């Protein structure tokens, strides 16, 4: 018992070779180019209000394969942490065995202690043994095991942050894929309606040509317009199928048949105005930055383990039990046996391995510092881009909608002028094409505005943090 207490005392008073690590200052400005107020980010259901989209996001959080892989990686890293933690604890094994052997008399002494069945040339005997053995337990005098434990803990925490980052990316990817699918669906609807209008215009032109009220050029223009509309319809059908496939992949499962009815792009209840706060908020919000910080701390702990490898390594192996030639007397007091073997190992020559490991650990720590700073710079850039988009898309969409109204009015006037014979068919054709393009551009701008809002939400770190507890 005294020896065990001495071991525990030596372990707890061990020194540490791990260098102190101060996180570098964020290599970004103290403010964003576009400044907004501060407020808490909404939970993703509060961010994306479309019930159909909410259902798809909830399904993706259970089915997406990237998220499943990230979760399994986090579990695997935690298992590695548990394995590493056992290195700081002594291992005990209960053992029992029976040995039967024959010894020649020249080894054991002829005629001395012969067991039944022995002879003048040797003897046979059996031995029973039972003991509790303490496996080789390292006395962590220089903190090598503690440094390895610290590195394993930080890598598990990094894997948890990686899972959060993937979860946030999945939410954003599903939202963007959904809006792209909505864009394709609405552009397809617009293409069909346009084809119907232009096909009707073609039929009217044919009747006017038969009555001698339209020229052959007018008929050719109307036919070309209808053919272009059919080509555009085929393109929109292809884009709709591809967008649905992309949405299915983002969700990670077939789309349910009982989804709520979809809302139009222009009616999507999405928060397109988000407050960014200060750049320092990213250090607490973004899981990728937190992941880089944990990787940095793990690399720093690796330096401590590499340094400690230069110093002597002490270990202890012991056993206590019973040994007897007869089973019925095995557990008697006279049959007790014990042993302990303290050992110390001092590195003398390793061919530069220890120095190489230390240099490698230092280089990896320097690389981790650069990765941490890069994560901060990337986050700052993404937020700055998102704020710039947030401040401009609203004005762009307002003007785009006004442009649609203007082109529709121009098309109506051109149609009346053409019917009255005051203008040529080409002017009406140009007005119709302009209106069609303006409507398509409005849908595209709205999709881009929604995607920019989702990107800013993701850049700010979202509201998807989970506690890393076990």
Question: Would you kindly state where each structural domain of the chain is located, as residue ranges?
Answer: 18-90+142-312+360-459
Tokens describing residue 284? 């607490």
pLDDT at residue 168 tops 60: yes
pLDDT of 85-117, one tens digit each?
Answer: 888 888 888 888 878 887 776 665 544 454 444
Instruction: Specify the pTM.
Output: 0.82
Q: pLDDT higher for 126 or 73?
A: 73
Burial of 403 (0-12, 13-18, 19+ CB in 10 A): middle
Check residue 10 and give its pLDDT. Answer: 46
Pairing between β-strand 313-324 and β-strand 122-139 as defined by DSSP bridges:
antiparallel
Handedness of CA 358, 360, 364, 366 (dihedral sign): positive
Check residue 120 and give its pLDDT. Answer: 57
What does each C-alpha distance from 87 to 81, 137, 315 come to in angstroms? 10, 8, 12
Computed over every residue of the chain, the mean pLDDT equals 84
Check residue 133 and give its pLDDT. Answer: 82
Check residue 110 and give its pLDDT. Answer: 47
Are 384 and 32 a contacting pair, CB within 8 Å?
yes
Nearest one of 226, 276, 225, 372 to 39, comparing CA atoms = 276
Q: pLDDT higher for 325 or 271?
A: 271
Count of all residues that appear for the chain in the document:
470
What does each C-alpha distance from 203 to 150, 209, 242 come to in angstroms? 79, 10, 33
pLDDT at residue 155 tops 90: yes
Tokens describing residue 232? 């555009």
Check residue 175 and give its pLDDT. Answer: 96
- Report the distance separating Cα 14 and Cα 8, nearest Å: 10
pLDDT of 245-301, one tens digit each?
Answer: 999 999 999 999 999 999 999 999 998 888 877 777 777 789 999 999 999 999 999
- Report the distance separating Cα 146 and Cα 84, nearest Å: 10
Q: pLDDT higher for 318 or 230?
A: 230
The average pLDDT across 1-23 equals: 58
Q: Where are the alpha helices (DSSP H) in 86-215?
A: 105-108, 144-210
- Report the distance separating Cα 59 and Cα 257, nearest Å: 13
Tokens describing residue 322? 């019973």
Q: pLDDT higher for 242 or 101?
A: 242
Burial of 243 (0-12, 13-18, 19+ CB in 10 A): buried
The CATH H-level superfamily of 18-90+142-312+360-459 is Outer membrane efflux proteins (OEP) (1.20.1600.10)
Poorest-confidence range of 3-12, 133-142, 180-189? 3-12
Nearest one of 449, 331, 444 to 389, comparing CA atoms = 449
Task: Using DSSP, state whether 51 is helix, strand or coil.
Answer: helix
- Report the distance separating Cα 46 and Cα 54, nearest Å: 10
- Report the distance separating Cα 396 and Cα 236, nearest Å: 24
Residue 470 banded pLDDT, cuts 50, 70, 90: low
Are 460 and 451 a contacting pair, CB within 8 Å?
no
């Amino acid at each position: 018992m005294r020896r065990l207490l001495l071991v525990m005392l030596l372990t707890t008073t061990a020194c540490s070779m791990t260098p102190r690590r101060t996180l570098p200052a964020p290599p970004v400005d103290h403010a964003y180019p576009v400044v907004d107020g501060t407020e808490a980010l909404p939970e993703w259901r509060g961010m994306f209000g479309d019930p159909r989209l909410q259902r798809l996001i909830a399904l993706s959080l259970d089915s997406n394969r990237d998220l499943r892989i990230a979760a399994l990686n986090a579990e695997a890293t935690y298992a590695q942490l548990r394995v590493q933690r056992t290195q700081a604890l002594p291992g005990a094994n209960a053992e029992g065995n029976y040995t039967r052997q024959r010894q020649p008399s020249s080894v054991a002494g002829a005629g001395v202690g012969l067991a039944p069945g022995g002879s003048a040339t040797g003897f046979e005997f059996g031995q029973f043994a039972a003991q509790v053995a303490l496996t080789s337990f390292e006395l962590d005098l220089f903190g090598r095991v503690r440094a390895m434990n610290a590195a394993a803990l930080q890598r598990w925490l990094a894997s948890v942050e990686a899972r959060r980052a993937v979860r946030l990316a999945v939410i954003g990817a599903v939202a963007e894929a959904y809006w792209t699918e909505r864009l394709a669906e609405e552009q397809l609807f617009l293409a069909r309606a346009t084809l119907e209008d232009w096909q009707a215009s073609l039929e009217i032109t044919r009747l006017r040509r038969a009555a001698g009220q339209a020229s052959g050029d007018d008929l050719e223009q109307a036919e070309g317009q209808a053919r272009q509309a059919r080509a555009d319809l085929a393109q929109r059908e292809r884009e709709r199928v591809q967008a649905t496939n992309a949405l299915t992949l983002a969700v990670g499962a077939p789309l349910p048949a009982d989804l709520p009815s979809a809302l139009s792009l222009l009616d999507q209840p999405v928060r397109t105005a988000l407050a960014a706060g200060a750049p320092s908020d990213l250090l607490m919000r973004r899981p990728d930055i937190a992941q880089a910080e944990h990787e940095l701390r793990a690399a720093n702990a690796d330096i401590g383990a590499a340094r400690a490898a230069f110093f002597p390594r002490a270990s202890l192996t012991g056993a206590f039990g019973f040994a007897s030639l007869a089973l019925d007397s095995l557990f008697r007091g006279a049959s007790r046996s014990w042993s302990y073997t303290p050992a110390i190992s001092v590195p003398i020559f390793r061919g530069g391995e220890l120095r190489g490991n230390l240099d490698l650990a230092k280089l990896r720590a320097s690389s981790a510092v650069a990765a941490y700073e890069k994560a901060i710079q990337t986050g700052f850039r993404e937020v700055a881009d998102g704020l710039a988009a947030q401040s401009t898309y609203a004005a762009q969409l307002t003007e785009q909608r006004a442009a649609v109204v203007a082109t529709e009015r121009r098309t109506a006037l051109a149609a009346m002028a053409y019917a009255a014979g005051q203008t040529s068919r080409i002017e009406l054709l140009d007005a119709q094409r302009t209106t069609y393009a303006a409507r398509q551009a409005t849908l595209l701008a709205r999709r881009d505005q929604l995607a920019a809002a989702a990107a800013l939400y993701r850049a700010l770190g979202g509201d998807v943090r989970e506690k890393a507890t076990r």
